[in-house]
Amino acid sequence: MPKYFFHVYYERAEVDHEGEDLPDKHAAWEEAIVTAGQIIRDIDGKLQPGKEWRMEVTDEFANRLYVIRINAEQER
């Protein structure tokens, strides 16, 4: 079974060194959106304008498959 890695970048890099065995890239996407939702909920009001939160999903060969981004912007 292929291994997928879920790296999170917000204020610092949290590189996933363990990864997760999943059947395919579609399962990796489903895992990414569930996990991203849980992490974003835990940010709990700390995301400030001008900051970005992102998750990058890579395969076992370090190929980037998906990126989920949240950009906080303030209108002028």
Q: Mean pLDDT, to the nearest integer, of 52-63?
A: 96
pTM: 0.87
Residue 27 has a CB neighbour count (10 Å cut-off) of: 15
Q: Give CA angle at 61 (41, 67), nearest 5°.
A: 30
pLDDT category of residue 15 using cuts at 50, 70 and 90: very high
pLDDT at 1: 93
Instruction: Evaluate if residue 30 carries a pLDDT over 90.
Output: yes
Instruction: Evaluate if residue 43 carries a pLDDT over 80.
Output: no
